[in-house]
Amino acid sequence: MSTHESWVEENEVLDLIRQDHRWIDVRAPVEFAHGSIPNSINLPIMNDEERRLVGTCFKQQGREAAIELGHHLVSGKNKDQKIQSWLDEIKKQSPNISLFCFRGGLRSQISQQWIMDQGVRIRRVRGGYKAMRALMTQYLRQQLSKTSVRLISGPTGSWKTPFLQWLVDEKHLAIDLEKLAQHRGSAFGKQGEQPAQVNFEHAIVKAVLNSEAQYDGHTPLYLEDESRMIGRCVIPDFFFAKMRSSPIIWIDEPLERRVDNIFHDYVEQTDIVKSQDIFKIQAVYQGYKDSMSGIKKRLGHEKYTEIMKDILSAESESVSNGIHDSNRVWIQKLLEFYYDPMYLTSLARRNPVTLIKATTSEIKSFLSK
């Protein structure tokens, strides 16, 4: 092995992540799927099966035998293809690219050496993924400890997410956790495939890093008042504890306005309007019905049956005539029967400090003073 190894040191990691540095993750695909560093690409030195065989050999025969098997498995055309994939990525990103394995050990060392043998230099991360993840978690804890948090609260349909965007546009410090989780945070909130839990946590760190220039010890961080879980993504314990101990800003909009908001987000912005394809329209309504199944127990049989009947009626109208106001019927009942009682019960149990309870426009005026 060459003695001219080049490292990314731990004190550089956060700055590089902030700068959207590119990373080659040479761990196996199964490891990468569990989570990686923002802006990483998985170009493994061993695939899942190769890693499994080498791991079994290590347990049964020891380190030297495992290394020998690894070199045997990743050799010839297999080795050439992997080296070429690294070189192609380095060529696209150089010099803003580095590589890592799990602990900064043998896999990244061998990958780096094979790349260097081609006359190309690349750095590898000292301590690897494990050290990088620890640094990111430690940073988030430290940043939260010196930052005041304000929660944007309000019952379903208050348009808290657009309000967060208004805060960003007005140069306030705000992070949209639902956007990072790719989920709207309700039974009806699924927005495609959610990130792995680790990637969700790392996305929070990246968002804080990107906003770091605004942190001065006095500027509050605004977040939406979330449950511990956003879809299947879990807010880290220490982060959630900070949220739960923070005061709220309560957006208090009338029921009719909230029904309009949900109608816009969950009906007008779907294939019910965008498509004349009956099958796509039916797929939208199937999504509503699937979501209803998830809350059937809490709703109770009678209310569940009533709302489902309204959804089926709205589906029939929408298939025949396009978007239809009958959707507002089931939306309003869902708010009155399910979401509003759940929100008010949770709020009463927590009894948070309320900085202001008012309409969106009134709160905007309050925060603009």
Q: What is the pLDDT of residue 274?
A: 66
Q: Does domain 7-135 have CATH number 2.40.340.10?
A: no
Segment holding 78, helix H or strand E: helix 76-93
d(CA 123, CA 128): 11
3-state secondary structure 289-354: HHHHHHCHHHHCHHHHHHHHHHHHHHHHHHHHHCCCCCHHHHHHHHHHHHHHHHHHHHHHHHCCCE
d(CA 124, CA 82): 17
How many CA within 13 A on the CB side of residue 173? 20
Neighbours of 147 (CB within 10 A): 18
- Quick one: which of 358, 357, 367, 353 has its CA closest to 168? 367
Residues in the chain predicted with pLDDT less than 50, given as ranges, are 1-3
**Active-site choice (17, 46, 101, 125):** 101
Domain residue ranges in the chain: 7-135, 152-369
Two structure tokens written together for 202: 């790392």
| Residue range 206-234, pLDDT digits in tens | 999 998 877 777 789 999 999 999 999 99
Q: What is the pLDDT of residue 189?
A: 64
Q: What is the pLDDT of residue 40?
A: 98
The dihedral region occupied by 74, where left means phi > 0, alpha psi between -120 and 50, and beta the remainder, is beta
d(CA 296, CA 292): 6
d(CA 361, CA 93): 46
CATH architecture entry for 152-369:
3-Layer(aba) Sandwich (3.40)
Whole-structure pTM value: 0.90
Is 233 assigned a catalytic role? no
Helix (H, G, I), strand (E, B) or coil at 90: helix
Helices (H) and strands (E) in the chain, counts: 19, 12
